Amino acid sequence: MTAPPTLAIDASTYLGTVAVLRGETVVSEREAAMRGEHEERLMPAVAEALDAASVRVSELARVVCGGGPGSFTSLRIASSIAKGLCMAHGLPLFAVPSLALMRPAGRLLLEEGRWLALLDAMRGDVYATLLDVERGGRVTAASPPRLIAAVDVDRVAAEFGARPIGAGLRQEGRPRASALASVAPELIAETTLSSWEPSYGRLAEAQVRWEAAHGRALTAG
């Protein structure tokens, strides 16, 4: 029997990715620029991926969204699309750590071993997560993300016997929604749709600038 389809979305970087999967088989995938554009392109990429897979939203078994950390605005867009689709069609929403979706440039799978997956956190910092990868590229464990100074990457990697992977590194890589196919099920958690938000990791740049200019925290109300 054919596995019911899953829609996966991740926008933890300035390039959003979308994939439709049946079990561990990637049926279609698309990507969309998340920055410097005059129109929102992630939702059209979702529609294109579903159309290429010949899947209607109502046929989905679930939606899985990258839960961050990463780009504040991009994560907001992706999570809003995921939640909107789930609310409109009565679908369950699941979250996966975005760094567990890290994949090497030009390759489908990570090599066996331990990796230090990294994303730019700006201001000289990076988000870092340790990934354990078994033979065949399956990600079986991911530590909670932590914020470290970019200059400390090699030291932290050596401390944990891990190979660094991320943008601008010797091993180039970035999260991709299609990588959900090789993430262990225990790393994918069902959310409470009404209250779930991605983990942004830190405040948005606009809020940081506002608080610096006004000398106080920005609060609602």
SS3 category, 156: helix
pTM exceeds cut of 0.75: yes
Predicted pLDDT at 104: 93
Predicted pLDDT at 55: 97
Q: Give the lowest-confidence range in 6-15, 28-37, 138-147, 171-180.
A: 28-37
Residue with tokens 């939702």: 43
CATH class of 5-99+176-214: alpha beta
- Residues 59 and 74: their CA atoms lie apart, in Å, by 26
Predicted pLDDT at 102: 96
Q: pLDDT averaged over the chain?
A: 90
Residue with tokens 């054919």: 2
Mean pLDDT of the 31-50 span = 87
Predicted pLDDT at 213: 62
3-state SS, one letter per residue, for 89-108: HCCCEEEECHHHHEEECCCC
Predicted pLDDT at 220: 45
Q: Is 56 exposed, middle or buried (0-12, 13-18, 19+ CB in 10 A)?
A: exposed
Domain with CATH 3.30.420.200 in the chain: 110-173
Mean pLDDT of the 104-114 span = 89
- Residues 146 and 144: their CA atoms lie apart, in Å, by 6
Predicted pLDDT at 210: 47
SS3 category, 82: helix
- Residues 158 and 164: their CA atoms lie apart, in Å, by 9
* Band of residue 47 on the pLDDT scale cut at 50, 70, 90: very high
Domain 110-173 has CATH 3.30.930.10: no
pLDDT tens by residue, 188-219: 999 999 999 999 876 555 545 545 665 665 45
* Band of residue 106 on the pLDDT scale cut at 50, 70, 90: confident
Domain with CATH 3.30.420.40 in the chain: 5-99+176-214
Predicted pLDDT at 87: 97
Q: Which of 132, 136, 145, 63 is nearest to 97 (CA)?
A: 145
Residue with tokens 């958690």: 189
Half-sphere exposure (CA, 13 Å, Cβ side) for 97?
Answer: 25
Mean pLDDT of the 96-122 span = 93
pLDDT tens by residue, 145-195: 999 999 999 999 999 999 999 988 889 999 999 999 999 999 999 999 999
